[in-house]
């Protein structure tokens, strides 16, 4: 195991121990997440099944349930990436961790493990609640394609989290990028309504929004049993987005750390 991997695992283990101290509240939060689907269950009754070719055969509830599942996993990862340094600073552990030799990359990446794990559990609760409330048939789902699509979508969205961490180092305002991303993804991501309903200029932008691209393949995998061959165009587009956006995001984070070191605002090793 490399030094970075060991540091990442150490950060994740620490976060898991902290999370266990909030066991009851975490459990209640996970259980309550299923109740959030109730409102969409009733909203779905207002949307006639088969009323739009952009909706799956099962109707609006299947559409929004799968959209929320991917959306919560993406936003949990981005929030953890963008807010990792701010949380470490608030808890007084940022400078000691850096001074001890823990790399910034391990602090930022390791902070995503526990939140993403909890979001995956929430997504499974949504899947169970969706099956119970509206009889969504997951039996035909291609889980392997869904997992590959999830991974590709998280990687393509991750640069936004890195930019959030960089902005915190510069502005000391956590959540700026995450808040804007949540708003943009809500409009352009295809979570709550089909992207096809957007005006043409926004539809063209949505074609390159990682969440919107990933959701098409994610929904097809879970609701239609689509395999990797059908998901290949979306996966290729996500890979292109990641290739283009990761280098500048990583450079921005590096620049922000160097700037903080020069100004003496962080005791960087």
**pLDDT at residue 93 tops 50:** yes
Structural domain total, the chain: 1
264 band by pLDDT with thresholds 50, 70 and 90: low
Find how far residue 171's CA is from the centre of its chain: 23
**pLDDT tens digits for range 42-90:** 888 887 765 566 677 678 899 999 999 999 999 999 988 888 888 777 7
In-domain check, residue 33: yes
Contact status, residue 68 vs residue 191, Cβ threshold 8 Å: yes
Q: What is the pLDDT of residue 170?
A: 84
pLDDT tens readout for residues 175-214: 778 888 888 898 899 999 889 889 988 999 999 999 999 9
Residue 86: predicted pLDDT: 81
Query: Could you tell me if residue 69 is inside a domain?
Result: yes
Q: Mean pLDDT, to the nearest integer, of 216-229?
A: 93
CA 145-146-149 angle, to 5 degrees, is 85
DSSP state of 153: H
Instruction: State the pLDDT at residue 269.
Output: 40
Across the range 251-268, mean pLDDT stands at 77
Question: Does residue 213 lie within any of the structural domains?
Answer: yes
Tell whether 78 is covered by a domain: yes
Residue 205 lies in a domain: yes
Domain membership flag for residue 20:
yes
Mean pLDDT, all residues of the chain = 84
- What are residue 232's phi and psi, to 5 degrees? -55, -45
- Reported as a single tens digit per residue, the pLDDT across 95-139 is 777 777 777 777 888 888 888 988 998 899 899 888 888 888 887
CB atoms within 10 A of CB 161: 29
Residue 268 has pLDDT above 50, yes or no: no
Does 268 reside within a domain? Answer: no
269: in domain? no
The pTM assigned to this predicted structure is: 0.88
How confident is the model at residue 51, as a pLDDT? 56
Say how far apart CA 111 and CA 161 lie, in whole Å: 11
Read off the pLDDT of residues 159-186 as tens digits, 9 standing for 90 and up.
999 998 888 888 877 677 888 888 889 8
Q: Which domain holds residue 32?
A: 3-263
């Amino acid at each position: 195991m490399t030094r970075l991997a060991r540091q990442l695992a150490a950060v994740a283990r620490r976060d898991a121990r902290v999370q266990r101290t909030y066991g009851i509240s975490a459990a209640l939060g996970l259980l309550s997440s299923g109740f959030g689907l109730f409102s969409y269950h009733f909203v779905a009754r207002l949307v006639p099944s088969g009323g739009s070719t952009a909706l799956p055969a099962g109707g609006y509830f299947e559409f929004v349930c799968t959209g929320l599942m991917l959306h919560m996993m993406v936003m949990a990862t981005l929030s953890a990436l963008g807010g990792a340094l701010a949380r470490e600073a608030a808890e007084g552990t940022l400078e000691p961790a850096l001074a001890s030799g823990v790399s910034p990359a391990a602090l930022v990446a390791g902070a995503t493990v526990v939140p993403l794990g909890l979001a995956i559990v929430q997504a499974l609760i949504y899947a169970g609640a969706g099956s119970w409330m509206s009889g969504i048939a997951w039996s035909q789902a291609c889980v392997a394609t869904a997992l590959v699509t999830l991974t590709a979508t998280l990687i393509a969205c991750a640069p936004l989290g890195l930019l959030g961490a960089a902005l915190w180092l510069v502005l000391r305002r956590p959540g700026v990028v995450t808040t804007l991303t949540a708003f943009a993804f809500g409009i352009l991501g295809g979570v709550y309504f089909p992207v096809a309903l957007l005006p043409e200029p926004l539809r063209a932008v949505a074609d390159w929004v990682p969440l919107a691209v990933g959701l098409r393949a994610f929904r097809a995998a879970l609701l239609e049993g689509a395999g990797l061959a059908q998901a290949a165009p979306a996966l290729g587009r996500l890979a292109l987005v990641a290739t283009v956006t990761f280098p500048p995001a990583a450079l921005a984070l590096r620049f922000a750390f160097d700037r903080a070191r020069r100004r003496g605002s962080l005791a960087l090793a």
